[in-house]
Structure 1
Amino acid sequence: MSFIKYKRIIEEGDIVIVFLGHQRLHVVTVTRGRVFQAKFGIFPHDDMLGKEYGTKFFSTNRKGWMHVLHPTPELWTLTLPHRTQILYSTDISHVTLMLDLKPGSIVVESGTGSGSMSHAIVRTVAPSGHLYTFEFHQLRCVAAREEFKSHGMDECVTIECRDVCKDGFGLEPIADAVFLDLPRPHEAIEHARSVIRPSGGRLCSFSPCIEQVQATCEELRRCGFVEVETVECLSRSFDIRSVRLPTLCTRESNGSDDVVNECEPHAKWKKPGNDDDDGDTCVSDLEVELKCDEESGASDCSKFLAVTPNREMPGHTGYLTFATLHAKRK
């Protein structure tokens, strides 16, 4: 099974993403004779074999259904086992853009963590590029290595258990870009500088605390990096709903104190701002009257789709710091 090379037909041993609904995704390895059980019913794996990815499958009792999707780094981010805090697609897409990653790029990463960012990088730089990723925790390193192999990515990624803050990366200057996700990233800046190509490259550091960002920016400038900037990426979702609104009726003045309502020709309205007791003046001769109020009993309301931003934006605090190392002068 490969997360890089996509195929059309589901085969035995494939790692698939089962979609049961919004935020209800599961990772399943298709095995002959086994079943996937959910609250919607039982889904035999044998029914999936030979079918196309994206097919809609019904449970044995015909009371539930699911879609079987081909795995992608984005879907893996939503379903992977969390060994550490991970980066989500909002941050990942911005990092990929700002580091100018493309097929053939050589990227150095530390630390690997749960592999969310690693999967996205490998998919972007494949098939001719390569990712060198480092994780100081031995068990997390072993788990990530097994995932890379089972996901068909081991040819494009090399993982090593190493504390880069103390021991460096142990690589020649071959990297087009460096990505750091460390508790103390400023301690790895000097080592990161040594692995960037002589022709120059980009660096990105992810930190959840602004104090880490401050120390990183100071170290970046000391090591000769320029164009240092920090951004915070947040996803803002909107609620979409259908609402009923009253019909808008325009009232235009004919030059007198009375205003004729175009929606109700026989009704007359007193022009605002004309009373002596009220010091307000009419800003415009064109005004809007909301027809279809409950008191009048009118029923000519229109149906609209409205969007409103959520009051709270789910996510985690995180800052992305970018910097550029220009080519070394001879």
Structure 2
Amino acid sequence: MLSLDPSKRNSLQRCICDGDLVIVYERHDRIKAVKVQKGLDFQNRFGVFKLSDWIGQPFGSKVLSNKGGFIYLLAPTPELWTLVLSHRTQILYLADISFVISYLEVVPGCLVLESGTGSGSLTTSLARAVAPSGHVYTFDFHAQRATLAREDFERNGLSSLVTVSVRDIQGEGFPEEFCGAADSVFLDLPQPWLALPSVRKMLKQDGVLCSFSPCIEQVQHSCEVLTSGFTDPNVRLIGDMQQLILDIRTFEVLLRTYEIREERMTTSEADHESPVGPMRKKRHCTPHDVDDSQGERTATTVTARPCQESRGHTGYLTFARLACS
């Protein structure tokens, strides 16, 4: 389960129990979630691992298989859960999630409304951000997706922080019980502008809205509604003050990952005598390589280069703040 107890925030101080969810780490691009159960085995290319042997081990442990292969047992943080969850819909990844939580000013004790639960990637991080006294109310129009998301939150120990409901927010809006109570609202909808009148009613004064849209046309339409449709005489009043939407901004978050590698380089004495400077040639060397009779010398160097495969555009994040005139 995700650790929300401040006294157990350090995963190395927590031990694995029967029934716990564990993230099995083989390498950076090969990880999966496994539920620990006595009498069962986990099998991969490194061999067979007995799950009963994991019980009592601290998170972060390295465990061996029957063939001598090894894996690491990691605590299921929201970041790792995002990488292993079932993709029922397109999900938000770490770059967008961290930006959203920061810009929405989500802190412990906040009440957050979310429409478009999907696979629950963002919801899981929102739950950690509002813990231990806040709550996330998330809505999805698809009943089966909502049920699967609810099961995931129960499995991750987040049921006390997240409530999943089936509701068409575009057509019905958010429930009236949250009127004026939300610190933040997040929308992941095909037509977010249809939900904006309801969002205006839900937000507290100085509350923040975020709308995630993959297409710029969706952003343009939403911004038109935000700038022109929130000063009409029918808006909710706070005392004698009229609500206004301010500070409308749109961002695209792009993440570039680099690979750090240690390589052995060879240079010859002739290279150092060149009037234009040394010309290095790269050769795959082993740790046992030595200078040869041709006068070549080897040196270890660390290189950093962009990963060949990286995620590009995911979507546009539009933020707006509710204020009063």
Q: Helix, strand or coil: the match of 2:194?
A: helix
Conservation of the 8 A alpha-carbon contact between 1:3 and 1:153: no
Paired letter, 2:154? K
Q: What pairs up with 1:132-151 in 2 under 5 angstroms? A: 132-151=137-156
Paired letter, 1:189? L
C-alpha change, 1:68 and 1:141, in structure 2 (3 Å) is: same
2:114 to 109, 114, 120: 109
C-alpha change, 1:292 and 1:139, in structure 2 (3 Å) is: closer
- 1:193 and 2:180 matched: no
Q: Helix, strand or coil: the match of 2:182?
A: coil
Per residue, is there more helix in 1 or in 2? Answer: 2
- 1:318 and 2:285 matched: no
Paired letter, 1:213? V
The 2-side partners of 1:162 and 1:323 are apart by 23
Aligned match of 1:259: none
The 1-side partners of 2:67 and 2:188 are apart by 47
CA RMSD in angstroms comes to 2.4
Paired letter, 1:4? L
The 2-side partners of 1:12 and 1:325 are apart by 47
Q: Helix, strand or coil: the match of 1:325?
A: strand
- 1:213 and 2:219 matched: yes
Aligned match of 1:291: 278
% identity of equivalent residues: 44
Conservation of the 8 A alpha-carbon contact between 2:188 and 2:211: yes
C-alpha change, 1:230 and 1:28, in structure 2 (3 Å) is: same
53-62 vs 305-314, which deviates more?
A: 305-314
Q: Helix, strand or coil: the match of 1:9?
A: coil
Aligned match of 1:49: 55
1:236 to 252, 256, 264: 256
- 1:308 and 2:315 matched: no
Q: Helix, strand or coil: the match of 1:177?
A: strand
CA deviation vs aligned residue, 1:175-227 (integer Å, no higher than 9, x gap): 11111011111111111111001x22111111111111111111111223211
The 2-side partners of 1:243 and 1:167 are apart by 63
CA deviation vs aligned residue, 1:214-249 (integer Å, no higher than 9, x gap): 1111111122321111111111022334363869xx
Conservation of the 8 A alpha-carbon contact between 2:2 and 2:78: no
- 1:118 and 2:123 matched: yes
Conservation of the 8 A alpha-carbon contact between 2:265 and 2:280: no
CA deviation vs aligned residue, 1:61-115 (integer Å, no higher than 9, x gap): 21x1111111111111000011100000010000011111111111110010000
The 1-side partners of 2:280 and 2:127 are apart by 59
Aligned match of 1:4: 4
Q: Helix, strand or coil: the match of 2:37?
A: coil
Conservation of the 8 A alpha-carbon contact between 2:2 and 2:75: no
The 1-side partners of 2:16 and 2:141 are apart by 36
Paired letter, 1:184? Q
Aligned match of 1:70: 75
* Aligned-residue offset at 1:158: 1.5
Normalised to the residue count of structure 2, the TM-score between the two structures is 0.82
2:36 to 25, 30, 40: 30
C-alpha change, 1:192 and 1:243, in structure 2 (3 Å) is: farther
- 1:21 and 2:41 matched: no
Aligned match of 1:178: 185
